[in-house]
Amino acid sequence: MLPPQIQLLSGPGCPVCVTAQGDIDAAIALARIPGVTILTFGDMIRVPGSESSLQMEHACGRDIRILYSPYDALHIAMENPEQQVVFLAVGFETTMPLIAATIRSAAQQRITNLSFFLMGKLLPPALRSLCKQDITRIDGFLLPGHVTAILGIEPLQFLATEFRRPGVVAGFQPEEILLALAILVRRIGAGEIGVEIAYRSVVRPEGNRTAKALLKEVFQPTDVTWRGLGLIPDSGLAFQSSYANFDARKRFSLQEFASKDHDGCLCGEILCGRFTSKDCPLFDHACTPETPIGPCMVSSEGSCAAAYRYERWK
Amino acid sequence: MKSIVVTMAHGSGGKLTQELIEEHFWPRFTNPTLDSFLDSSILEIQKEIAFTTDAFVVKPIFFPGGTIGKLAVCGTINDLASVGAQPVYLSASFILEEGLTWKELDAVLDSMAETANEAKVKLVAADTKVVERGAGDKIYISTSGIGYLKVDPVPQPRRMENGDAILITGSIGNHGLAVLQARNSFFTKLPVESDCAPLWGLVEALLAAKIPIHAMRDPTRGGLATVASELAQASRLAVTLQEDQIPIDAPVQAACDMLGLDPLTLANEGKLVIIVPSAAANEALRILHQHTYGRRAERIGDVQCQPEGLALLRSRIGGTRILESLSGEPLPRIC
């Protein structure tokens, strides 16, 4: 649909897709502890660890349950007092406030058999880290509507002030994406930098103050590893000390699992436009939608997954 | 004292097994063939038949719009109907879990018998076994079916041609969503029922009107996307569906949007995808619309030569994406 001079690079993907291999390995180690029940969002169970996945562990008999709302964790913990229930808390700024609210409720209700394995991630630090690598080939940014619905646009103004690029907050329906693209293209043409909202039905410039306050109350920023992008300073969430007794890592004295990104995975470079998916030595060999390695292949909407599917056609 | 649930003794083959059969199965399925109680049923049969088998393990066994029993009968009937065969005989094996209540068993058998009667098929062979509590999940049913072929040549993907029209007999995703809702209670109220229905009547009406059916599939597990993709691969032609033509009930679409599911990958148990020459499409739709199970039939796409072997979806704003077979389960997403 788009004219050939517009190229879209998509990624790194959703909070699930960027979960590091080491974190999946740690979750699997938790699942293997007798008496532990793992709660997870559905799409986590396919993400590959170093030698297994939660799906495979479930098939081997571990107690791994899919839930749909973080709040369900409270009921499941209360209904299974003899089990240690661990919620795999993944999410960007969009989901993490809900998880923060759940943790606060668990504290208020003094639920002692529930803990949280935090894998939450923050978008602005990751975007900044990508920009720092190489911004030369990127003319502008389509920015995610739901993250900015929480954060507002202030945390993304660095795109203009530091990197002199325009950004437009887009919705998710095709019309909304086209609208945002049209505005972005006009801004690029006119040399207008700055962040604009093209999703005003949902996003306010100041974001959602209540959600932001919740995030601050329960979590603090920490350095975390992203699949395919490596360690990014202050891009993850850790517990504030007042909630630290809900930390599954501490409760089970979990060791650190190294996240060794596969040699040769070029996701970071692909997202900067320095390489295309086809340049990656793993693409269509070791890395396919059935056996994904980098986040751009794990995510069905990622650049590599799209390239894999559509190159066969074109 | 009479047991209030199925016990291991009901699977022993002795007196209690006989009681189980006489009190629960026989009254519902009685017919001369079954009543002969021979080790094998003797059937009169025409020369060319279609034969199919299937197993049903749906959880929960009751869901809005159906039961595991209705599903088993419909599934087998629809597999026969999809090749243009009139369903005639059914067999059914039941694996019952110890502790299943008579009320549950009777409700499943009632819905089976009702559906079999509606579709005029006879249960001519049956078996029951009981497994210990925990070794099964209330009830599993395995069915086989025999149908009389009513059309020559048999509808199949390699008969598809460039320019053919692709029809669907009604809205998609209802069964898959109804079962997911019954399993998880995502919503306090969701006005969605399984579309589970026996579809031979639809096919019979099309054949009676001499509609030349090139190919036919029931989009069960994997949904419409999987069937479209398989039809394209098997025919080595392109299958293009128009997103805005595909009937999807508003509550199904809304629930899918909230849960991050694609209605095109959800199971259907009362729908057929039918491929006919473009010139016959309007007449086929007219006939389908007269039928209870085809009232919302639509032409949803076309068959083309290129790109060979691929199924495509044209979005309502004019974009195109490749439709792929569902890999793994449809999982709700957080993102």
Question: Is B333 within 8 Å of A16 when comparing Cβ atoms?
Answer: yes
Q: Is residue B167 domain-shared with residue B314, that is, in the same domain?
A: yes
What is the three-class DSSP state of A171?
A: coil
Question: Is B327 within 8 Å of A289 when comparing Cβ atoms?
Answer: yes
> Chain B residues with CB inside 8 Å of A91's CB?
334
Distance CA A129, CA A132 (A): 5
Tally the domains of chain B: 2
B306 touches chain A (CB under 8 A): no
**Mutation for testing the B interface, residue in A17, A53, A54, A68 having most B CBs under 10 Å:** A68
Q: Which of B149, B171, B203 is the last residue of a domain?
A: B149
Q: Is residue B258 domain-shared with residue B200, that is, in the same domain?
A: yes
Q: Which of A95, A174, A310 lies closest to B334 in CB terms?
A: A95
Q: Which residue of A has its CA nearest to B187?
A: A68
What residue ranges do the domains of chain A occupy? 21-122+210-251, 123-197, 267-311
* CATH assignment of the domain containing B112: 3.30.1330.10
Q: How many CA atoms lie within 13 A of A90 on its CB side?
A: 26
Judge whether residue A30 has pLDDT over 80. Answer: yes
Q: Give the residue with greater pLDDT, A10 vs A109.
A: A109
**Domain range holding B278?**
157-323
Q: Which of B128, B149, B170 is the last residue of a domain?
A: B149
Distance CA B208, CA B287 (A): 10
Look at the domain A21-122+210-251 and name its fold. Answer: Rossmann fold (3.40.50)
Q: Which residue of B has its CA nearest to A309?
A: B322
Q: Give the residue with greater pLDDT, B300 vs A67.
A: B300
DSSP secondary structure of A208-223 = -HHHHHHHHHHEEEEE
- For A138-194, the pLDDT digits (tens) are 899 999 999 999 999 999 999 999 999 999 999 988 899 999 999 999 999 999 999
| Packing angle of the helix pair A209-218, A96-108 (nearest 10 deg) | 60
Q: Is residue B55 domain-shared with residue B106, that is, in the same domain?
A: yes
B282 touches chain A (CB under 8 A): no
The pLDDT-based confidence of A85 (bands split at 50, 70, 90) is very high
Give the Å distances, CA to CA, from B133 to B20, B58, B254, B304. Answer: 18, 17, 38, 53
Q: Is residue B193 domain-shared with residue B126, that is, in the same domain?
A: no
Q: Is residue B112 domain-shared with residue B179, that is, in the same domain?
A: no
Q: Is residue B16 domain-shared with residue B130, that is, in the same domain?
A: yes
Residue B330 within a domain: no
Residue B70 within a domain: yes
**Entry pTM:** 0.86
Q: Is residue B117 domain-shared with residue B259, that is, in the same domain?
A: no
Interface of A with B (CB under 8 A): 1, 13-16, 41-43, 45-46, 55, 66, 68, 90-92, 95, 174-175, 178, 289-290, 309-310, 312-313
User: Is the separation of the CB atoms in B40 and B84 below 8 Å?
Assistant: no
CB pairs < 8 Å spanning A and B: 56
Q: Is residue B125 domain-shared with residue B179, that is, in the same domain?
A: no
Distance CA B306, CA B183 (A): 41
The pLDDT-based confidence of A261 (bands split at 50, 70, 90) is low
The pLDDT-based confidence of A272 (bands split at 50, 70, 90) is confident
Three-state SS for B102-158 is: HHHHHHHHHHHHHHHHHCCCEEEEEEEEEECCCCCCCEEEEEEEEEEECCCCCCCHH
* CATH assignment of the domain containing B279: 3.90.650.10
B183 touches chain A (CB under 8 A): no
User: Is the separation of the CB atoms in A302 and A17 below 8 Å?
Assistant: yes
Residue B43 within a domain: yes
For all residues of chain A together, what is the average pLDDT?
91
What is the three-class DSSP state of A1?
A: coil
> Chain A residues with CB inside 8 Å of B334's CB?
14-16, 41-43, 90-91, 95
Those residues with Cβ within 8 angstroms of residue B185's Cβ, 6 or more apart along the chain or in another chain:
none
Q: Give the residue with greater pLDDT, A306 vs B58.
A: B58
Q: Is residue B87 domain-shared with residue B176, that is, in the same domain?
A: no
User: Is the separation of the CB atoms in B330 and B266 below 8 Å?
Assistant: yes
Q: Is residue B172 domain-shared with residue B304, that is, in the same domain?
A: yes
The interface pTM score, or ipTM, of the predicted complex is 0.77
**Mutation for testing the A interface, residue in B308, B321, B335 having most A CBs under 10 Å:** B335
- For B9-26, the pLDDT digits (tens) are 998 888 899 999 999 998
Residue B329 within a domain: no
Q: Which of B149, B177, B200 is the last residue of a domain?
A: B149
B324 touches chain A (CB under 8 A): yes
Nearest CA-CA distance, residue A192 and chain B, Å: 28
Percent of chain A with pLDDT over 90: 64
Q: Which of B315, B327, B332 lies closest to A174 in CB terms?
A: B315
User: Is the separation of the CB atoms in A38 and A62 below 8 Å?
Assistant: yes
Nearest CA-CA distance, residue B279 and chain A, Å: 29
Residue B331 within a domain: no
pLDDT in the model for residue B170: 98
B186 touches chain A (CB under 8 A): yes
pLDDT in the model for residue A228: 80
Judge whether residue A127 has pLDDT over 80. Answer: yes
Q: Is residue B126 domain-shared with residue B182, that is, in the same domain?
A: no
Question: Is A42 within 8 Å of B332 when comparing Cβ atoms?
Answer: yes
> Chain B residues with CB inside 8 Å of A313's CB?
307, 310, 322
Residue located via tokens 């619309």: B289
pLDDT in the model for residue A2: 86
Those residues with Cβ within 8 angstroms of residue A209's Cβ, 6 or more apart along the chain or in another chain:
none
Residue B2 within a domain: no
Phi, psi angle pair for B268, to nearest 5°: -125, 145
Q: Is residue B124 domain-shared with residue B232, that is, in the same domain?
A: no
Question: Is A43 within 8 Å of B331 when comparing Cβ atoms?
Answer: yes
pLDDT in the model for residue B333: 65
User: Is the separation of the CB atoms in B231 and B157 below 8 Å?
Assistant: yes
Q: Residues of chain B whose pLDDT is less than 50?
A: none
pLDDT in the model for residue B60: 95
Q: What CATH number has the domain spanning A123-197? A: 3.40.50.11750
